[in-house]
Structures are given as structure tokens and as C-alpha cells.
Structure 1
Amino acid sequence: MVRGALHEGGRLLAALARWMEVPLQALAADPLPSWNEGTVKHAIIDFVTRATTEGDAGFVPVEARIATFDNDGTLWPEQPLVQGAFLLKPLRSRVKEDPTLSKRQPFKAILEGDLSELSLMDKARLTKLLGETHAGMTEEAFIRDVRTFFQNARHPRWDVPYNQLAYAPMLELLRYLRANGFQTWLASAGGIDFMRVISEATYGIPPQQVIGSQLKKSLDEAHAPSVLRREARVSHVNDKAGKPVGIDEHIGRRPVFAAGNVRSGGDIQMLQYTRKRGCPGFALLIHHDDAVREFAYEENDGASLKAARQGGWTVVSMQRDWRRIFDGTRVPDENGGG
């Protein structure tokens, strides 16, 4: 009865907004204060309003309200790639063990202080590299290493811990979706175990709702209690065509909302998979076009933006659509704004 009253109230509020020719959020508390007023913000709120209003053509039952988010470049910066920065120490240790590696990439670039080699690396190769540096390690030991990294490592540009660089507008979006009955999932090409360490504290996403690239593991029962050990073999690369596969294997439902970003074309298939449902889903693409407050870069072939035009996705301009990018108490606004 209460839920019906709430849905009826939402429908009446939406109808009133249309009748008054004003955005719905103008009649209620703004759920996305770090987003500038405009078509992108209004499209998000309109989708959520319709998805949660019984009787509306866009209504989505609670059990089907699945939202998947890429991580690197979608929820936090990917220059440098955070997991690439995490690999610096073990890769340097490998070179000490085998000096001949100093002539090979990415070892050569890392020793010279160039992190771009890791940031641009194919995700399958990056996952394999993670296996090469951490093969035989127990899950407990790996988790300790990841926690130590996030406690000590700092972003080279802003000099704050990497997990304090989550985009403020996207954190608001995650909270807004969850407040309206959506399950929020990470679906990233990054390592699943790496992201699970910080997903809940950083994004409010519990570890069981993280999908990522994986190494094979084996159960070591030689000691009590038994432990899981990582292998050098890759089990799944959660990138490009691998993302819908990972989503299906972990969730068993097609998302109704998905967010990715322009960088390598790695999110195209996930966004297409979300958009092409019986009832069209919402596909959000983040475009990095703010060199002052964050970074500005494009894809050489423009594949993601082309797919967005063809698929009717909503494209976010970080420069125009985001009032702020980071939490101002942690990262100064380099544009001088609030």
C-alpha cells in the first residue's frame, strides 16, 4: 500500500512537471547536485522516474533494475591506470630477479618512469602480467598487498590516495539509482580481486557485485585452514565482448542501465547489450574533454562516440555536464569553481 502510494506520487509529480514545462527535479530535492542542468541530467532523471512509476511504459520491476558501471575512466581517472600503478613494485622486483627483462616492455618503460605503457596495454596482456607477478600468492596475501597500495600510493597529479578520486557526479548517480531500487554493479576490465578490496568503501558496491578480469585459482589443502592460490593462467578478460559474458555469468540478467567511457572502445558491447532490450535500456558514455580539471583524450578511430550516435546513447561531456569532478574537500578544483 505504501509502495503504491509512493509510485502514484511519483507519477503525479512527473505529470505536474510536464504540465508546468519544467524539469522534474525542479519540483523535488536535486538528486544530482554535481551535474549541470541540461539534457543529460534531465534524461537520467526522466529514465529513473519512468522506470520506478507503475503504469508508465518505461516501468522496470525492482528485480530487473540492474545497473552496471565500468570503473577506470567511468568512476575514477584512468591516467595512470590504477591497477597499472599497483603493478609497479612487483614488476620492478621481477626485473631484479631477471635483469634481461629490462629490455622488454612494459618493464623497460616502467624502469624509465613511463606509466603510459601500462595504461595503454591490452587488458588481456595486463591480466596475464598480473598473473605472472602474483602466481602462487594466496588471496589473503594479495588482498593485503592491495590494501597497502591504497593506503600508501598517491596520484602523481593530485597527490591524494587513488581511492579518493572517485568522480563526485558518478557517486551521486550510484546513490540515486540505489535509492530507487536499482542494484549497482561494477563491470570492469580491471582485476576482480583488486577492485573488490575498495569497491564498497569507495562506491558503496559490495564485493559480490563486482565483475572483472580473473585469474584461475586453485585450492591448497596442504595447510589448515585451506587457502586459495592464484595461478598465472587467465580465466576471463572482462573487456569488450567479454563484458556481456561476465555480466550474464555473474548476474543472469541484462542490465537496464549501463555506464562506460571513451578510451579504448572497451565498453561498446556492454552499452549495446544494455540498450538493445525488449524495452530500451539507458546507456551512458563519459567523454573525457576537460583537460583543466581532469584529462582530455579521444580514441583514434572514434569508435565509442560513433556507436553512441548510432545507438542513441547519452554522452556526458565532463566539461559541460559536470559542475564539479571531484570532492572539493579532497581534490582542489583546478578551474577555480565550486
Structure 2
Amino acid sequence: MRAGNIGQLIALPILSQLFTSAVTADPLASWNTSVSKEAITRFVEAVTTQGGPEFVSPDERIAVFDNDGTLWAEQPVYFQFAFALDRVAALAPHHPDWEKSEPFRSILNGDIKTALATGEKGIVAIVAATHAGITTDQFASIADGWLGAAQHPRFNRPYAELVYQPMLELLAYLRANGFKTFIVSGGGVEFMRRFAGRVYGIPPEQVIGSSGGVRFEIGADGQPQLVKEPKVEFVDDGQGKPVGINRFIGRQPIFAFGNSDGDLEMLQYTAAGKGARFLGLIHHTDSDREWAYDRASHVGKLDKALDEATARGWTVIDMKTDWNTVFPLNAQDGQGEGK
């Protein structure tokens, strides 16, 4: 695998396509006219109208978004897991014992299903082997190289180009209306921070994710460094999401978007606040342009959250009918809060 250039890493059309949206006077140009789009714009107008009954001051306009399956694609496996699988292959020559031990044996044989069947223990072993024992700077360089070179198996495009154009527009639209946008995801926080600023316009301090142990030490060169350890400190999924929001943001969101049962508690926590609230779920229904999956999916399962959204009147985005565009078409650098 050839190393990518971080300057060319996230070649996305954020700037050009968002500029096009501005010119056409529709900040959500990739959204079809629908109940869903109207619900979003109606909410934003209500909470930003000075003197209105649902006005929310800018410091309280907190919007939180899941990442996998909400801001970018997540099939056939979570993209960070694809990164870990490639790291296993790259490190295998230094670990001959992996050929006889699971889950590494199955990964090296291309049997990902069996590797995943090892459950949480196996996944923790994979993450520990591929993410730990190196400095945070080394990890950042490795992640940058992978993001710049690796191609998605179906679309033959860099993984970071498989972000959702309608969601890029939504992030920009919210920020233009005084919202502060956060990622709240089960993915690794240090991995997501390598692309969130360039891709989404969300700076690293507004990225909340799962995290492993890190220790401080003085390196052989006499310089201070942080070394990643093979242990999990915080899992930002399910019940962990509202905990992470409280810990790292300190404000209850008024706007939340997810796509799976792992986002349910974040949506419930957001809904429980006083005043106007917007709760959104993306339903993956487009097998032609992306994928169609929900209750039975091994990735991004949407079951309980879909039932609750229906019962409580939350906004469910039907990808096939609500979006006229799924992925960006061209390659440009993005700009935003994190640029």
C-alpha cells in the first residue's frame, strides 16, 4: 500500500458544491422537497427567530451527529475496521504467531466473518494489535497514509470520499445559523480526528469517540511523547453517547442525528430536554446508490430506534426518496470550522 499525501488526503467537493448551493439560494440542494427537509428548515427557523416562542440562544444551539452510517457510509464493514484489517496484513510479517491464533488467522485467510465471530474479545485484540504500542504521532501518520491510499471495494474511491453530500450541506446550514456541530460516534476518536476537519468542517475538539489508554513518556530522543496502550478507556456507543456528551460538551443538544440502534440513547437524551428539539434518523433504503439495510444488518442495525422514532414522531430520512444525491461527485478541498 502506498502512503498518501495528507494534503491530498480528503479530496472532496465540499467547497465547490456548498458554493453551488449558496448560489442557487438553497443550502440543502441535495435534499428533495419533502416532509423531512421541511421539518429541518422549519425547526432551524423556529429556534433562530429572535423573539419567537421557540428561540434558542446561539450558545445552546448544540447539534450532535453519529459518524458511521450518518455522515459517511459504513458498509460492508465500518471503515475504521477496514483500516485495522489492512494493518493486520501490514504487520503480519512481524508476527508469525498470528498464522495460528484467532482472530488474526482468519483475517489473514480472508475469512472476515469468522474473525468477527470472535466477538468483542477478538475485536479488542485486533484494535490492540493495530492501534497500540506506537506514539500518537505515529498513529496519525499511519492513519493519514491509509486514508489517502485505501480504496473502498465497491466504489473504488477513497473511503473519505464516501461521505454524504446532503449531510455536508446540513452541517454547513446549521453552522450558518449559529449551531455548533459535534461528532458523537462509536469510532475511535483519534482516527476520526484525522479527517473530520477537512471532510466535515468539524475541528478535533468537537469530535467525541471511543478512546483507548494513552501514557506520557520521554522518548529515546529526549522529547515528550504520548504512547497508545492496548486497553479501552471509553466506549462512545449506546449509553456511552449521552455520557460522552455530558463529559465533553457539558450541554444537552437540541439537534441530534443518527442511523442505528447505537444512537438511540443519544436521541432519547436530546429529546428529554426542554423546548424545541429535532431528532433525525437516516434509514438506508437505496441499494442502487448506496445500500438498503435496517433490522437484520450486521452493521448499523436499525431496529429499536426505528420503532421509537415512528412512535414518537421523530424525522426518519428515507435515503432513496429524500436525497437526490448521495455521495459528492468531484474532488475538492473542504472548508469549515475545522479548516
- TM-score, L = length of structure 2: 0.82
Secondary structure in structure 2 of the residue aligned to 1:48: helix
- Counterpart of 1:274 in structure 2 is 270
- Counterpart of 2:229 in structure 1 is 231
- Counterpart of 2:312 in structure 1 is 311
Matched letter for residue 225 of structure 2: V
Matched letter for residue 64 of structure 1: E
Q: Would you say the 8 A contact 2:103–2:126 is kept in 1?
A: no
Matched letter for residue 211 of structure 1: I
Q: How much has 1:120 moved relative to structure 2?
A: 9.0
- Counterpart of 2:208 in structure 1 is 211
* Residues 56 and 105 of structure 1: CA distance in aligned 2, closer, same or farther (over 3 Å): farther
Q: How much has 1:85 moved relative to structure 2?
A: 1.1
CA distance in 2, matches of 1:124, 1:37: 46
- Counterpart of 1:260 in structure 2 is 258
Identity fraction in percent = 44
1:112-127 alignment, distance < 5 Å: 112-115=109-112, 126=123
CA distance in 1, matches of 2:71, 2:117: 18
- Counterpart of 2:59 in structure 1 is 63
- Counterpart of 2:9 in structure 1 is none
Q: Which moved more, 1:117-126 or 1:218-227?
A: 117-126
Q: Which moved more, 1:100-109 or 1:85-94?
A: 100-109
Secondary structure in structure 1 of the residue aligned to 2:292: coil
Q: How much has 1:329 moved relative to structure 2?
A: 2.8
CA distance in 1, matches of 2:180, 2:120: 26
- Counterpart of 1:320 in structure 2 is 321
- Counterpart of 2:73 in structure 1 is 77
Q: Would you say the 8 A contact 1:71–1:186 is kept in 2?
A: yes
Secondary structure in structure 2 of the residue aligned to 1:267: helix
Matched letter for residue 132 of structure 1: A
Instruction: Return 5+ residue gaps in structure 1 as ranges.
Output: 1-27, 331-338
Q: Which moved more, 1:67-76 or 1:89-98?
A: 89-98
Q: How much has 1:165 moved relative to structure 2?
A: 1.2
Aligned length: 301
1:138-287 alignment, distance < 5 Å: 138-222=135-219, 223-262=221-260, 265-287=261-283
Q: C-alpha root-mean-square deviation of aligned residues, in Å?
A: 2.3
Q: How far does the alpha carbon of each residue in 1:262-318 deviate from its partner, in whole angstroms, 9 at most, with x for none?
A: 3xx110000111111111421110001100000011123821211212332110000
2:290 maps to 1:289: no
Q: How much has 1:103 moved relative to structure 2?
A: 5.6
Instruction: Return 5+ residue gaps in structure 2 as ranges.
Output: 1-23, 297-301, 332-339
- Counterpart of 1:329 in structure 2 is 330
Q: How far does the alpha carbon of each residue in 1:156-177 deviate from its partner, in whole angstroms, 9 at most, with x for none?
A: 1111111111100000000000
Which has the higher relative contact order, 1 or 2, with Cα contacts under 8 A spaced 6 or more apart? Answer: 2
* Residues 126 and 246 of structure 1: CA distance in aligned 2, closer, same or farther (over 3 Å): farther
Q: Would you say the 8 A contact 1:67–1:183 is kept in 2?
A: yes
- TM-score, L = length of structure 1: 0.83
Q: Which moved more, 1:89-98 or 1:279-288?
A: 89-98
Secondary structure in structure 1 of the residue aligned to 2:72: coil
CA distance in 2, matches of 1:117, 1:304: 28
Matched letter for residue 195 of structure 1: M
